[in-house]
Each structure stands twice: as structure tokens, then as C-alpha cells.
Amino acid sequence: IQLTQSPSSLSASVGDRVTITCRASQGISSYLAWYQQKPGKAPNLLIYGATTLQSGVPSRFSGSGSGTDFTLTISSLQPEDFATYYCQQLNSYPLTFGGGTKVEIK
């Protein structure tokens, strides 16, 4: 299953609302997770089951979607949110990641 993220990069300002999309090549129900990765660091789990926030993750992050189309939204971008975001499907093997979306400071 291929996952296509868009955009591949974006520039935004602190306080902006940011939306990242992830499209699966076939239906994956809600078996999708989102990760955040900062330079030189390991990825950090943000959302699982397409919509459920991992414990400790700020409520400005939210996920939506099912089937083939998913979104990750940051309601009010904070300085610590500048990072690369990846979706991953957990519907079937081999598990796959999207290509990533880099969120940069405008």
C-alpha cells in the first residue's frame, strides 16, 4: 500500500493553522498513525487509529479521515512544531510510511 503525503513541504508562521494530507493507494480503514520527527532525533508518535491523540501530545494536534484520505491538523502552530511529519499505514504488511511533510518557519 502506497501512501502519498502532500505537500512535501510548507512554510508557515507561528499561530497558523496547518493541514497535511495522506492518501492511501487502497482503503486502510482507520489504521493510520502520524509521527513527528525533528532533525537528528527519532520519530515521535502523535496520533493512532487515524484520530486518537497519543498520551502527552498537545491538543492542538488532531487527525481525521478513514478509507483512503487522511489529514493531520495543527490548529495553532507553535515554535516546537517545526519538524517533519510522516503517516504510516498499519492495515497490511509490508507496513509503509508516507514520504513526509517538512514544516518550516516562514
Partner 1 sequence: EVQLVESGGGLVQPGGSLRLSCAASGFTFSDHYMDWVRQAPGTGLEWVGRTRNKAQSYTTEYAASVKGRFIISRDDSKNSLYLQMNSLKTEDTAVYYCARATNYGPGSPLADYWGLGTLVTVSS
Question: Does 14 contact partner 1 by CB under 8 A?
Answer: no
The C-alpha cell 515554535 sits at 79
Interface pick for partner 1 out of 20, 72, 88, 103 (rule CB under 8 A):
88
Smallest distance, partner 1 to C-beta of residue 62, A: 17
**d(C-alpha 32, C-alpha 14), whole Å:** 27
Burial 3-16 (b: 16+ CB within 10 A, else e): bebeeeeeebeeee
Whether 83 contacts 38, CB under 8 Å: yes
Report 30-59 residues binding partner 1 (CB under 8 A): 30-31, 33, 35, 37, 41-45, 48-49, 52, 54
Q: How many residues bind partner 1 (CB under 8 A)?
A: 29
Report the alpha-carbon distance of residue 94 to residue 71 in Å, rounded.
22
Residues that bind partner 1 (CB under 8 A): 29-31, 33, 35, 37, 41-45, 48-49, 52, 54, 84, 86, 88, 90-100
